[in-house]
Structure formats: C-alpha cells, structure tokens
Structure 1
C-alpha cells in the first residue's frame, strides 16, 4: 500500500478509569508535556467503572493547551447524532480547534439496550452510522442555507437549525473492521481508527485496499482518509522481545514500514505507563518523523492536504492553484473548503477571494508573498478584518490572513516592553496584559486586529493620556515586497520604521511589533445617552468640554439620525485613564450638562473589560461607504454642517473621537502620521444607494476639515491621499515606497504610488 503523505501524529489511548480520575487527567497532561499530539479515551457509557468520556474530553481540553482530544471511539447508539454535532462543535470552539471525532457503530448490545439504546443488527449499525455522518456534517456546514432535513430510517431530522460551525474542520475517524464498515470509511469518513490487536480478517493490507476501493467508487481520493492505529501490546526494553517490544530505535524501524508501505500516519499507544508515554513522545516520535521525512524526500512522495473533487470544482479562474508551495497547502483555504465562509468576508465588506492563506509564522508569509507575486490577481492582507474600507478582502484574488499569528508576549515587565503578532485582537491583548498591570490604547472595539490599527495610527480610549498606538512602537518585523524579513527600529532601516507608523499597509506585511506599554489597571468608564434634537449645540458643547477636560479623559460620541418621529440621539463614551474615582467624578460631571440625558451609567472597571472582544463573525455586515476627517475644533460652522448631515436622513451614523492631549505632544514629522494639532476625528457612514448624497453633504463640511484619519475612509482618490499625508509627508512616503515596494505590490490599503526612481533618490537624500 502507498504512503498517503499525511503529517504524522502521535498520541495516547487512555483508560478512563473512575477509580483514579486525577491519574487519568495527569496522563493526558503528560501526553502534552511529552510532545505528543493527541489524547484519546475509550467510550463505554454502560461501564460504571469508567468516567463519562464526553465529560472527560471537556475537562482534559480545559486542562491542556495544545493537544487534540478525541474519543476512541464514541459509542453512537448512546450519543444522539444531532445533539452530538452541537456538542462536538461547542467543544471544538471552546478548545480553539482541538477536538476530533472518533466514532463507532456500537458493540456490546445487551449493555447498550440496558441503558435504553435500540439494538441494531450489524447492517443496521452501519446504516445508522452513515446517517449520523450526514447529520454531523450538515449541522457543521456554516455555508448551507436553510434548516437541515434528512429522511433517515434511524435518525430522521425533520427540520433542524444548523450550527454552530466548529472552529476547524473536525475529522470523523471510524473504528471499523468488517467489509461494510470499511466501505463506509472509504466513502464518507476522514480516517480509519482500528486497534492493531483486533485486526484479523480482513488483515491490515486488505482492509486498507477495501477503504481505497470504496473511496474511489465514491469519487474520493484515497489520500483524503487518514489511517490511524491503536497499539496496545507495546513496551520498551533494552533488547528485542517482539513487535514494539524493545528499545526506541527498534520501534522506529518497525513503525517506518507501516507509514511507507501501508499508509498509517498516526500511532496511539494504549498503555497507561507514564515512562512509556514519555519515551514514546521524546524519543520515538521525533526519530520516526525524521526518518519518514528523509524517505519521503528521496521518493518524492506528495504530502499535504488533499481536496475532494467537489472542492476542486469550486476553484475560481485566474489563479494557478497547483503552483501553491507545499509549505502553504495546510494553511490555505479555497472556495469549496469548510472554512471558506469564515474567511472570505471582512467585517464591513463581502468578498469572494480565490484563495485565503493563513500563515503561522514569518517563513509562511514570505512563501505566501512570493507565490502571490507570480499570480496576476489582487492581493489583500488582513490582520483583524475590521477595516471600514473592506480592503482586506477581494474578489478573485489572494488574501494573506494573519489571524493565526496571534501571540502576545511581555518581553520585559520592568521596561514594559511587549511583543504582539499582527493577527491578535486588541481585546485579547488587553486581557493578556491585565495580569501585569499594563495596557495599550488601541481603538474602541476588542475584535479589531493589531496589524491594521498599529500601522495606521491607533486612536483609542486612552489616547489623550497616552497618545496613539504608533507612538509606543519601538521596533517591528516586516516582510517586504521582495521577500526580505527585516527588523526595523530607529537604528535599523529608520526610513521604513518611520513609514510603517502611519502608512504601514503600503510597505509590506508586518509580522510582529514591539511596543512599550504603560501602567494601567482600572479605569472609570461612563456612557451617556443624550437627546440630540439640538444637534449643533450638543456637538459644540461636547467639543468644548473635551478640549477643557484633563488629559485623563478621552471621549467618543456616536450620533444617530432620528427614526419614526424620534429626534436624533447621541451616545457619549467617556473613559478616565486611572482609578482615582473622586478625580474622575470631578472630570466627568461637566459632561452631564451637554444636553437632555436619557440614560447614564458609570463604573470602575479593568481596562480589559471595556474592550473585551465579542468574537463576532465577519459577514460583510457593516457600512462600507464612509468619509473621514480631522477637526482642530468643533466650531459653530462645522457643527451646523454636521447637524445638517445627520438630519438629512442620508447619513446612517456619525462618530466623533477626541484626539489632542498626548497625541499632539509628538512632532508632526516623527512618524508618518502627521496630524498632531487637531483635536477631533469625525466619521460619516451610509449605505451604497445614498453614497452620492453623503458625498454632497461631506463637500459642505470639507472646508472645515484639516486632514483625515486613514482607517475610517473608503475613498482613495489622489486628493484624499494628500488629506492623509500632506506634504512633505507624501513625497517622503513615495520615495520610501520606491525603495521597498517599487512594483507597488501592496496597492490596496490606501495605495501610495512609488516615486519615479530619480525623484525617489532626491527625496531619500533630503530625508537623510
């Protein structure tokens, strides 16, 4: 039999004894500590000597961080598949994609019947299992429309709501031995999970061939089915005492043919012996991986993910999928893949990319960028996907999605130095820093990704006290257009370091940022709901109060038009950057006079609580037609223009954010964000069919504006480029662009055109 090229997995098959639950869990924790990949447990619900396997799986998933968990195998007759589908998806979501589903048709029918299960013949058991697989996959299918309806003989589903979708594509591994079960494995399952000692007739080779034949008959590639093997009668000893009864090197020699000649790629030891588990993980697993890698390289064995024909049929034209490097195969998502619906859209805009690549490190980013440059399709880079413009997705192109690069590290608590990867959400950053008493001002919504915000500016709830996010960046790692991974700071590529702090999306893919956080624990958080009938007066009063407030106060105001005869309404958020409640009350009290207060609340809360990430799915549900500007002051004339906008009915929302304070302490040429004199940011958004009216209303406001906050603007005309980067900033950026991205590879995120070569040289010399 062939080597199917699957990544090797190693794990344990643990007896879930109820007599010593702590030991069972400790063996699972040892599985992880030993470097193994998978902890599995028997499932015999009728055995009172055993812990309930589902409860145990949940507990072990919570006690571990890396390993996958699975039953080996789950007893289907006592686990209703519709409920099992939701339970499995839930555990997968809670464990961040670490659950796999080993499933069996059932045995020990007297015991099953004694617990209320229905006795089935062998043939009926196979039919029931086949129906169950259809239900499981139907519930997990996040792209399907309408309820799940299946006319099953054993598990009919008249009309079930689908969902939740799991965190990853859960594999269904079947414990099977007889021809009909093996045929079902080939036709519908993702893996074959037998126990070596129970395989009799057919033998391993014949059973594998039967699975392959059934897969081919069902129109599947046999490589789609992983082959796993439980190994029970095993042990380590100084000399050879039989199959897997000897030193670690003997194990490697005896397991290697099972991989290369019979296609097995996962081995689970069924001995609850801590020393055996440790030796298996630390000596056998790495040595076998090394041996298999060497043999596969010499033989040219194809490795990586295999997609079924139904997925291949959904590939979009214009992209050479076969040219994708093997290193990225497991990290890529195509239109037919189960994960596609999760990654195709941004928060604001719907998209249909031909391929989404999710790197796990800088080498993957380099490979992804090199591949993308060979394809004549749009390229988008996404950190969190909350950019209002929606430019982090596209139609028919490639998206480099950084969501899997999401680590947060405190490098040095004494200097408050932290390291963030671009795919982590700011709400998670706040949660990770909270135990250290640290924080970083970072927008007003916890689901926003680090990469986009921290390379644009970073206007957050603590901005007037501590400045913009970019003002705290001390170093960055970035992959440039030519595939170089550069570390940039004040002494290394200082021109690029300057540019990425305010225009970062134009110069490469940031893979990590180092920042100096600040000491923040609790803050005072207040919200007011205000009748905005007298809109202009409300805006002017709020603006004056903000400018006169101590720097500890940062305030955002959202303005909504009147609906169904109600007046316009404003929601005012106020954050006092500190835990001095008395001082906060003094600073906040004047804001109670800005207008008729309809509701109010205030509380002392950890900063991490007010930016807690809601974890919303991205379905292109936001407003994508926006304009953004900056104001020095909210003058009566500007307030009147904005009041006209919100009363028009053509603007769905306006948002105002206070800047000033520490933001304006920074010199305008210190970073690529030059707007260091203004006190307010203003955003107006509407729906597509009212975009023309928004444009006209914005034109009346435009004369009062000076500059633009990049993240909130959807128009990218040359005039708007100068609003974002007035001279000499734009010319300086164009020169740097010509150095690091002369081919304009990064041309979607508010694109800066490279300067001509001669001009670029002059600008660079002048900047130096």
Structure 2
C-alpha cells in the first residue's frame, strides 16, 4: 500500500476510569505537555466503571490548549446523531477546532439494549451508521438553504434547523474491521481507526485494499481517508523483545514501514503509563516525523490528504497548489473545502481568496511567506479578522490566517511580562490574565485579534490610564518579507521594533509579542443612553467632561441616526475597584445629555471583553472614516451635528485618548499622535458612500491625524494623516530596507523610499 501523504499524528488511548478520574485527566494533560497531538478515550456508556466519555472529552478540552480530543470510538446506538452532531460542533467551537469524531456502529449489544437502545444486526448497524454520518454532516452544513430532513429507516429526521457549524472540518473516523464497515469507511468516512491487536481477518493489507476499492468506486481518491492505528501491546526497554517492545530507535524503525508502505499516519498508544507516554512524545514522535519527511522528500510523495474532484475543479489560476509546503498543506483551505466559508471573509469585507494558509508556528509562517512570494498574487495577513480596515482578505490571492497561533502565556508575574501570539483574541488574553490580577488595554471587543491591534496602536477601555497597547510592547518576533524570523526589541533591530509599534503590518508577519501588563482586577462599568437631538451641545459637554475626568476614566460615545432622531450611547470605564472614587468620577457624566437610561456596576475587566467568536461574513459597515481631534470644539461639534442629522451617516463614534497616551514622545513609536484627546469615526452604508465623503470633507480641516485601523479609504492623502512627517519618511527608509518589493502592501501601503510610488 502507498504512503497517502498525511501529516503524522501521535497520541494516547486513555482508560476513562471512574475510580481514578484525576488520572485520566492527568494523562491527557501529559499527552499535550510532551508534544503529542491527540488524546482519545473509549466509549462504553453501559460500563459504570467508566466516566461518561463525552463529559470527559469536554473536561479535557477545557484543561488543555492545543490537544485534539476524540472518542475511540463513540457508541452510536446510545448517542443519537442529531444530538451528536450538535454536541460535536459545540465542543469543537469551544475548543477552537480541537475535536475529532471517532464513531463505531456498536458492540456489546446486551449492554446497549439494557440502556434502552434497540438491538441491531450487524447489517442494520452498518446501515444505521451510514445514515448517521449523513445526518451529522447535514447538521453541520449551515450553508444549505432548507432545514435538514432525512427519511431514514434507523434515524428519521422530519425537519430540524441546521447548525451550529463546527470550528474546523471535523474528521469522522470509523472503527471498522469487517468488509461492510471497511467499505463504508471508503465511501463515506474521513478516517479508519482500528486497533493493531484486532486486525486479523481481514489483515491490514486486505483491509486497506478494501477501503481503497470502495473509495474509488464512490469516485473518491483513497488519499482522502486517513489511516490511524491503536497500539496496546507496547513498551520501551533497553533491548528488543518484539514488535514495539524495545528502545525508541527500534520503534521508529518498525513504525516507518507502516507509514511508507501501508499508509498509516496516526499512532495512538493504549497504555496508561506516564513514562511510556513521555518517551513516545519526546523521542519516538519527533524521530519518526524526521524519518518520514526525509523519505517523502526523496520519493517526491505529495503531502496532505487529497481533495475531492469538486474542490480541485474550483482551484483558481495563478496558484501552484502542488508546491504548498507539506507542513502547511495539512491545514490549507481552498475554494470548495468545507471550511472555506469560515475563513474567506472578515468582519467588514467579503472575500474570495484562492488559498488560505493556516500556519501553526513561526517556522510555518516563514514557509507561508516564502511560498506566497513565489506565487505572484495578492497577499493578506489575518490575525482575528475583525479589523475595520478590512484588508485581511482578498479576491484571488493568498491569505495567511494566524488563528492557530493563539497561545497566551504569563512569562513572569513579578515583572508582569506576558507573551501573546497574534491569533489569540483579546477576550482570551483578558481571561488568561484575570487569575493573575493583570490586564492589558486592548480595544473594546473581545473578538479582535491580537496581531492587528497590537501593531497599529490599540485604543482601549484603559487608554487614559495606561496608554495604547503598543506602548506596552517590549519585544516582538516577526517574519520579514524574505522569510526570516527575527526577534526585535530595544537592542535587537531597534529601528524595526520602532516601526512594528504603529505600522507593523507593513513590515512583516508578527508571530509573537511580549508586553508588560497592568495590575487590574475589577473595574467600574457604566452605560448611559441619551437623546442626542442637540448633538452639538451634547458633544461639547461630553468633550469637557472627558478632559476634566481623572485618568482612570476612559469613555466611548456612539451616536446613531434613528427614525426617531439621533440617539447617544456612552460606555464609561473607571479602571479600578474603588467604588466611592468611581462614583465621584462617573456621576458628572449623567449631565452630558437628556438621559433615557443609565446602568453601572463593578465587574471583572475580562467580563467586558469576553470573546463571542462570531463567524465573519462581511456583516459590518463597509465604509468608515477615521480622524483625530485635539479637542471637541464648537466647530467640530457643529460639523458632527450636521453629519448625523443628514440621515446619510449611520453612526459616529468618539473614543477618548489623551491621558497616558500623550505621555509618550511622538517619536518613540511609529504612532506619532500624542497630543490629541479624541478619535472620531464615522460610518455609513455603501449606497451613502459619496455622501459620507462629502460630510467628512467638511470635518476634515478640523482634524489632525488618523487612527489607521478605523479607516477603509485608500486615498493616498490619508497616508500622510496616519504618518505625518518625519514619521512617514523614516518608515519609507525602513520599508526600503526590510520590504523593498512591498510584499506587505495591504495595510495602507507605505511605499519604500526612492520607489516610483513614493
């Protein structure tokens, strides 16, 4: 049998003992700690000596960060497929794409029947499993326009609403041994999950052949089906005592033919032995990966699972899909892939990229940059996809999606030093830091990705007390345009470090940031709603109140045009838990306008920015304008009043800066706006874009500067607003050094010095 080219996976098959529940969890945590990929658990619901497998899977997923989890295999007769589909998608969403679905047709029918399920013959069980797979995939298919209906003999579904869709393309792996189950694996499943000791008749070679034949008869490429293997009778010893009974080197030698000649690509060891798990993860797995990579390179074996013909037919010109580096191919998404609709768009923009690469570490980011440069198409980089500027997707190009680089670590609590990867969401950062009594000012919405905000500026709820997010970045790791990974800080490439803090998206792909966090627990949070008919008067009062407030107070004011007239909604944060001081500081704001509603409470900072993990489909307002004001003057208030009362601008927002933001010298970072007190945003719908521009032009002479992340116009004049001289000149010189070919040109492109565009 051939090598099917799948990425190798290594993991454990852990006993879910109810007598030692902590041991099962500890072994799963060890599985992750030693670098293994997957923890699996058998599923025998009729055995009271075992924990419920689904509960255990959920618990382990919550206790780990990178580990995939799966049943090995889940007992379908006792888990109805409609509920199984929703439970699987829910766990996958909660774990950020770390669940796989191992399924079995059922065994030990006395126990199954004793719990109320109907006993099935072998043929009936296979037919029921076939129906269940169709139902599960149907529930996950939220793109279908109609409810799910299935006229099945074993699992009828009269009509149900589809969804939720899982976070990733969950693999359905079947525990199969007999010919009918093997044929079902070939025609329908994503993987085959047998146990070595049970593979007797048919043997491994015959079973693999039956799967391949069934796949080909169904019009599938056999490479679409991963081959996994449970291994129970294994041990490490100084000398050989048999198959997988010897030193790690012997294990590698004996597993290598299973990959290269029989197509197995995942190995799960079924012994609850910490020493064995540690050696498997730290010695066998990396050595086997290296050996397989060497053999595949020599043989020219294509990496990654083969895609269906329907997906291949949607490949776009200009991309050499066969040249995708093997490490990236396993997680790449193309048009037609099930995950494509989840990764093609951003919050603001709809996109149709030809390829989305999802690297898992900095080395893979470097590979992605080098590969993308060789394709000659547009390159976009995305951390969270929520950037209002909307430039992290494209049409017909490549997107480097950093969502898998999402680790959040407290490196040194005493120094408040934190390491963040760019794909983490700020809500996740807040949740991780909260138990340490720490926080980082980071916008106002928990779904925003770390990478974009922390390299542009970072106007957040704590800005007036703690400054911008970039003001607390002390080091950054970045992949530059030539694919080199660098660490930058005050002493290592300091010019590049300066540029990253304010214009980072123009100089490479940031793969990690180190920041100093703030000591913070609870904060006082207030929301006020007011009639904004007198918009100008309300704005003048708001501006004066903000500038007079203590630095602990940061406020965001949103003004909406409604059929009943303009309305105002204010969000105020007092960055501390002193209730008396907060009340004294926030009470004056009740006079900013005719109040309609007010609400205040003491809450953990992390609760304000909890990440909802919304699915992006270009649902935001596509046209926004951004500017900075030193003060809200009468002229500015009148201009904003006229804008909002025109009915042609949907929303205006005023965010307070000033305070600690202005303590930083303007040349300390590439964000030079250190004297203004307010950020202004105006947005409208596409049909009112021209009118938005007209109203903005009337406000424009009163502005000084622009907050880059909130601007969707690419008018070259706006570049000078974002980076006035001498900042722009310095950035162009650095661009000529670090990215002379302007590879990173999507985030308000800065032309290199001496280039024609300059």
Q: Same fold (TM over 0.5)?
A: yes
Q: CA deviation at 1:537?
A: 0.5
> Relative to structure 1, is the Cα distance of residues 558 and 127 closer, same or farther in structure 2, using a 3 angstrom cutoff?
same
Q: CA deviation at 1:365?
A: 1.9
CA distance, structure 2, for counterparts of residue 662 and residue 194 of structure 1: 61
State the SS of the aligned residue for 2:583: helix
Contact 2:17 2:24 in 1 (8 A): yes
Contact 1:735 1:759 in 2 (8 A): no
* Cα offsets for 1:294-351 (capped at 9, x unmatched): 4444444333332222222222233222222223212321112222122111111111
> Relative to structure 1, is the Cα distance of residues 478 and 134 closer, same or farther in structure 2, using a 3 angstrom cutoff?
same
State the SS of the aligned residue for 1:415: coil
> Relative to structure 1, is the Cα distance of residues 44 and 693 closer, same or farther in structure 2, using a 3 angstrom cutoff?
same
The answer for the alignment partner of 1:766 in structure 2 is none
The answer for the alignment partner of 2:113 in structure 1 is 113
The answer for the alignment partner of 2:433 in structure 1 is 433
State the SS of the aligned residue for 2:455: coil
Q: CA deviation at 1:657?
A: 0.8
Larger displacement relative to structure 2 (250-259 or 493-502) = 250-259
Q: Are positions 1:537 and 2:537 aligned together? A: yes
The answer for the alignment partner of 1:748 in structure 2 is 746
CA distance, structure 1, for counterparts of residue 65 and residue 725 of structure 2: 50
The answer for the alignment partner of 2:701 in structure 1 is 703
Q: Which has the larger radius of gyration?
A: 1
The answer for the alignment partner of 1:216 in structure 2 is 216
The answer for the alignment partner of 2:389 in structure 1 is 389
In the TM superposition, 1:445-594 aligns within 5 A as 445-563=445-563, 566-594=564-592
Q: Structure 2 length normalisation: TM-score? A: 0.94
Q: Are positions 1:637 and 2:635 aligned together? A: yes
CA distance, structure 2, for counterparts of residue 32 and residue 507 of structure 1: 34
Gaps of 5+ in 1: 761-768
The answer for the alignment partner of 2:173 in structure 1 is 173
Q: CA deviation at 1:78?
A: 2.1
Q: CA deviation at 1:683?
A: 0.6
* Cα offsets for 1:493-514 (capped at 9, x unmatched): 3332322222222222222222
Q: CA deviation at 1:649?
A: 1.1
- Aligned CA RMSD, in angstroms, stands at 2.5
Q: Structure 1 length normalisation: TM-score? A: 0.93
State the SS of the aligned residue for 2:639: helix
The answer for the alignment partner of 2:200 in structure 1 is 200
Larger displacement relative to structure 2 (300-309 or 74-83) = 300-309
CA distance, structure 1, for counterparts of residue 81 and residue 452 of structure 2: 42
> Relative to structure 1, is the Cα distance of residues 45 and 551 closer, same or farther in structure 2, using a 3 angstrom cutoff?
closer
> Relative to structure 1, is the Cα distance of residues 586 and 271 closer, same or farther in structure 2, using a 3 angstrom cutoff?
closer
Q: CA deviation at 1:53?
A: 2.8
Which of 650, 656, 660 does residue 648 from structure 2 map onto?
650
CA distance, structure 1, for counterparts of residue 756 and residue 194 of structure 2: 68
Contact 1:426 1:447 in 2 (8 A): yes
CA distance, structure 1, for counterparts of residue 738 and residue 10 of structure 2: 44
The answer for the alignment partner of 2:626 in structure 1 is 628
The answer for the alignment partner of 2:667 in structure 1 is 669
> Relative to structure 1, is the Cα distance of residues 195 and 733 closer, same or farther in structure 2, using a 3 angstrom cutoff?
closer
Contact 1:5 1:304 in 2 (8 A): yes
Larger displacement relative to structure 2 (295-304 or 189-198) = 295-304
CA distance, structure 2, for counterparts of residue 706 and residue 52 of structure 1: 61
Q: CA deviation at 1:66?
A: 4.0
> Relative to structure 1, is the Cα distance of residues 32 and 669 closer, same or farther in structure 2, using a 3 angstrom cutoff?
closer
* Cα offsets for 1:543-599 (capped at 9, x unmatched): 111112222221110001132xx2311111111222222222222121111111111
Q: CA deviation at 1:84?
A: 1.0
Contact 2:303 2:329 in 1 (8 A): no
Q: CA deviation at 1:133?
A: 0.9
The answer for the alignment partner of 1:400 in structure 2 is 400
Q: CA deviation at 1:141?
A: 2.5
> Relative to structure 1, is the Cα distance of residues 80 and 6 closer, same or farther in structure 2, using a 3 angstrom cutoff?
same
* Cα offsets for 1:198-253 (capped at 9, x unmatched): 33332221111111111111121212212223334445566655544555555444
State the SS of the aligned residue for 1:455: helix
Q: CA deviation at 1:623?
A: 0.5
Gaps of 5+ in 2: none
Q: CA deviation at 1:728?
A: 2.7
The answer for the alignment partner of 1:127 in structure 2 is 127
State the SS of the aligned residue for 2:702: coil
CA distance, structure 1, for counterparts of residue 192 and residue 495 of structure 2: 55
> Relative to structure 1, is the Cα distance of residues 635 and 149 closer, same or farther in structure 2, using a 3 angstrom cutoff?
same
> Relative to structure 1, is the Cα distance of residues 704 and 396 closer, same or farther in structure 2, using a 3 angstrom cutoff?
same
Contact 2:236 2:244 in 1 (8 A): yes
CA distance, structure 1, for counterparts of residue 281 and residue 491 of structure 2: 44
CA distance, structure 1, for counterparts of residue 694 and residue 377 of structure 2: 34
Contact 1:352 1:395 in 2 (8 A): yes
Q: CA deviation at 1:681?
A: 1.1
